[in-house]
């Protein structure tokens, strides 16, 4: 379905004034015919009085129909029109329009409200024209079934997905999107908002299953056959870009453009969160211990070299081993050492 933009229809104000004028003329003609029927007007024979009454009464009955063709659009709104089931075009520019009164605006997603911003107030249950009690006529700017062309943000609910290692994680994304082809959005899919939401879920699952939560050895996330360091936590920008491209491929037929996709929430699932936290703590403790041991060995080596250079004390191999052991215990211990002073001979 190819989108067709309707132009040259911005004559709503002229048609509004013309229709009101004709309505007033029809009312006057009906009143004149009624007066002539009573014999109150000489230039209209009584026998011909029913004719202006019939014309005026007929217009009073059907004269409201042109009001149905009045359409008001605000910036970044569109209206898809059909005439007896045939697509005739789309109104996209803001302004006051007059179209065929029998045209019907179509938007299957008009009543669909997702967890997002930017939905158009479609004014369900309102008419294009409203006449107040004091006789004033107001054109309703919230006609039925308008389509928003604004950039909208879809916050899909968090999903529980297994990463490439089988660990269950919870992840949520925010997708910035907008409608660029109204004909495709209305006619190619049943409900373009629900379609977008479902495709976001599916694309998210496909991409997340490729990556581990944290960097893991022997995992290929790019598909080139070489293990890399890609992960959901460390490569969020890359993952978001792949999610955006995956969604875009799926919604092209719905006339939707994906502007950006961002990960808004990422965590282990509650059933394994405590275990994974212990694993991370253990890994951090091991790394810290390695650093402490490396520093302790260097300090012991420096102490022995200084003692030897300055000939402060001569130690045999057994005493050196005992000194190294004591220093390592002091430097690598979790608690402060309690020294024991030896007041006797070293040997």
Minimum mean pLDDT among 11-15, 37-41, 197-201: which range? 37-41
Average pLDDT over residues 255-282: 83
Identify whether residues 192 and 97 lie together within a single domain: no
Q: Report the chain's mean pLDDT, rounded to a whole number.
A: 81
Q: E-assigned strands of the chain?
A: 70-73, 77-83, 86-91, 95-98, 104-105, 129-131, 137-139, 147-148, 152-155, 159-162, 168-179, 256-268
Instruction: Assess if residue 43 is contained within a domain.
Output: yes
| Percent of the chain clearing pLDDT 90 (strictly above) | 34
Give me the percent of the chain exceeding a pLDDT of 70: 82
Structural domain contains residue 308: yes
What pLDDT score does 126 carry? 42
Residues 280 and 253 in one domain: no
How many angstroms separate the CA atoms of 297 and 319, rounded?
17
Selection from 236, 240, 235, 246 nearest residue 260 by Cα: 240
Same domain, 286 and 258: no
What local confidence, expressed as pLDDT, does residue 142 receive?
43
Residue 69 lies in a domain: yes
pTM of the model: 0.70
Domain identity same for 231 and 287: no
Tell me, yes or no, whether 64 and 92 share the same domain: yes
| pLDDT value at residue 54 | 86
- On whether the CB atoms of residues 167 and 99 are closer than 8 A, the answer is no
Nearest by Cα to 168 from 177, 159, 155, 181: 159
Q: Is the pLDDT of residue 339 over 70?
A: no
Q: Is 180 a member of any domain?
A: yes
**Per the domain annotation, does 122 fall within a domain?**
no
- Element spanning 206, H or E: helix 192-208
Q: How far apart are CA 174 and CA 240, in angstroms?
A: 10
> Which structural domain range is residue 173 located in?
152-268
CA pair distance 109, 189, nearest whole angstrom: 10
pLDDT at 133: 47
Q: Is residue 293 over pLDDT 90?
A: no
Regarding whether 306 and 288 lie in a shared domain, the answer is: yes
Residue among 253, 254, 189, 184 nearest 4 (CA):
184
Residue 53 CB coordination number (10 Å): 18
Q: Is the pLDDT of residue 246 over 50?
A: yes
Q: In this structure, are 161 and 234 located in the same domain?
A: yes
- Mean pLDDT is lowest, of 37-41, 172-176, 242-246, for 37-41
pLDDT > 80? residue 122: no
Residue 115: inside a domain, yes or no?
A: no
> Are residues 246 and 291 both part of a single domain?
no
Is residue 260 over pLDDT 60?
Answer: yes
Mean pLDDT, residues 271-292 taken together: 76
Task: Say whether 89 sits in a helix, a strand or coil.
Answer: strand
State the total domains in the chain.
3
CB 175 within 8 A of CB 200: yes
Listed residues 234, 249, 268: the one ending a domain:
268
More confident residue, 137 or 261: 261
Asked which of 27-36, 41-50, 211-220, 255-264 is least confident by mean pLDDT, the reply is 41-50
* Total Cβ atoms within 10 A of residue 270: 10
In a domain, 132, yes or no: no
pLDDT at 346: 53
Structure tokens at 208: 């997340």
Most confidently modeled of 19-33, 45-59, 237-251?
237-251
Helices 50-62 and 12-37: crossing angle in degrees, nearest 10, is 150
User: For position 251, what pLDDT does the model report?
Assistant: 94
* pLDDT tens digits for range 78-107: 999 999 989 999 999 899 999 999 999 999
Nearest to 178 by CA among 150, 204, 155: 150
d(CA 186, CA 147): 9
- 326 lies in some domain: yes
């Amino acid at each position: 379905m190819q989108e067709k933009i309707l132009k040259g229809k911005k004559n709503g104000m002229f048609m509004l004034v013309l229709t009101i004028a004709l309505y007033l003329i029809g009312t006057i003609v009906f009143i004149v015919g009624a007066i002539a029927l009573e014999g109150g007007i000489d230039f209209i024979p009584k026998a011909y009085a029913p004719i202006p009454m019939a014309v005026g009464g007929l217009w009073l009955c059907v004269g409201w129909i042109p009001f149905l063709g009045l359409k008001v659009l605000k910036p970044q709104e569109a209206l898809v029109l059909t005439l007896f089931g045939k697509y005739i075009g789309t109104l996209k520019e803001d302004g006051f329009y007059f179209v065929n009164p029998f045209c019907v605006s179509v938007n299957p997603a008009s009543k669909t409200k997702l967890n997002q911003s930017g939905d158009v107030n479609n004014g369900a249950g309102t008419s294009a024209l409203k006449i107040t009690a004091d006789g004033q006529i107001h054109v309703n700017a919230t006609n039925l079934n308008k389509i928003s062309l604004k950039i909208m943000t879809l916050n899909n609910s968090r999903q529980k997905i297994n990463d490439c290692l089988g660990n269950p994680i919870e992840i949520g994304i925010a997708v910035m999107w907008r409608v660029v082809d109204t004909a495709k959005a209305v006619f190619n899919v049943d409900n373009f908002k629900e379609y977008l939401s479902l495709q976001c879920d599916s694309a998210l699952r496909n991409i997340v299953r490729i990556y581990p939560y944290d960097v893991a050895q022997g995992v290929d996330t790019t598909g080139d056959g070489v293990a890399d360091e890609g992960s959901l936590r460390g490569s969020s920008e890359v993952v978001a870009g792949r999610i955006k491209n995956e969604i875009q491929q799926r919604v092209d037929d719905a006339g939707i453009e994906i502007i950006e996709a961002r990960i808004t929430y990422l965590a282990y699932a509650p059933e394994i969160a405590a275990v994974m936290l212990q694993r991370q703590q253990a890994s951090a403790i091991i790394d810290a211990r390695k650093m402490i041991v490396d520093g302790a060995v260097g300090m012991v080596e420096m102490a022995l070299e200084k003692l030897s250079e300055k000939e402060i004390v001569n130690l045999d191999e057994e005493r050196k081993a005992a000194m190294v052991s004591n220093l390592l215990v002091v430097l690598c211990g979790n608690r402060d050492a309690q020294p024991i002073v030896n007041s006797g001979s070293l040997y």
